[in-house]
Amino acid sequence: MTVPTLAVLSCGGTIAAEPDDGGAAPAKSGDQLLEAVPALEGRAHFEIHEVCSRPGFDMRWRDVLAAAELAEDVRSEVDGIVVTHGTDTLADTAYALELLGDLSVPVVVTGAQRRLDEPSSDAPANLIAAVRTATDDRFAAGVHVAFDQEIHAARDVVKAHTSALDTFRSPGKGPVATLTRGDVRIHRTPQRRVSVSALGRVDSAEIPPVPIVHSGTGVGAEEIHRLVRADGTSEDEYPLGGVVIEGTGLGNVTGELGEAIASIAEELPVVVGSRCCAGTTEPVYGTPGGAVTLSEAGVAFAGDLSTAKARVTLALGLASGVDVETLFPDGKAPDTE
């Protein structure tokens, strides 16, 4: 039987961390990480690529773009790609990889909640799950996340718990597949789940700031006025690309915040999502701040995309010259079957 070849793109995170008096920090190289999991031996030939060595909470656009460019460069030479990453922004990076490329080989992102030196570390199991998935050609379309014996679509997955081993979940959707000891059981068709063609190579210097503004009880217009002047530039005079609003429920905001959004929507792209864990935005309410009123003001809606991923979509899309209507078509999710 031919042994597959996998590229491993190492980005740091808890999975590569070691303890230190000043707190745990990424320290292991990709080679050291694989050597620490003897059960991987013989499963594949591994080509290791060091992208960066950063905690998940401090990933930069240039790190994400470097991973995407490496994946594009090696895809014709390997049978699959595994990305090791910190969990805090793992879902962001996985979806960015899906937006940027359409690689035609399995691309699987994984990490760990517990370091290799900690009791009951989940790092070995997650690495093995990622390798099993990346060597399965049924996953050759789209980017997936392997964690705690489940495989999730990059578009749907979120980090749902600060420390639990089953932290990655797909609210309202569920995993694409689950792993047993001897099988990968597919529940939904693995595919690229975005509404735009691959964005390709993006210059990190071209990615504009896209802040997220939260709506909730008592939120007024101050945050919008603090961020954005009437001409659509920031109060600090750096050019904003757009603003993502984390609304409530179906994509509603307070009346005061809604009026502030309407005042900038003609000058700046505004995308409204929901702070709810599952479900889609939908214009139903017509009162001040209601999604019907916001729609009339010209905002776009994130559909069932999380606000974090709406921000990733807007920032990368604008840097690639893609208009907001294409990035967020009618605020609806693409066909997932």
Read off the pLDDT band of 1 (50, 70, 90).
Answer: low
> Which of 212, 98, 106 is closest to 157 using CA atoms?
98
Read off the pLDDT band of 228 (50, 70, 90).
Answer: confident
Tens digit of pLDDT for each residue in 275-308?
A: 999 999 999 999 999 999 999 999 999 999 999 9
The pair of three-digit structure tokens given for residue 322, joined into one six-digit string: 């893609």
Q: Is the pLDDT of residue 232 over 90?
A: no
Contact 155, 313 (CB under 8 A): no
pLDDT, average across residues 122-136:
97
| Average pLDDT, rounded, for the chain | 93
Partners of residue 246 on adjacent β-strands: 214, 273
In the prediction, which pLDDT does 195 show? 83
In the prediction, which pLDDT does 235 show? 56
Tens digit of pLDDT for each residue in 56-110?
A: 999 999 999 999 999 999 999 999 999 999 999 999 999 999 999 999 999 999 9
Contact 278, 172 (CB under 8 A): yes
Tens digit of pLDDT for each residue in 261-274?
A: 999 998 899 999 99
Q: Which domains does the chain have, with CATH numbers?
A: 5-186 (3.40.50.1170), 208-331 (3.40.50.40)
Q: Which residues are catalytic?
A: 87
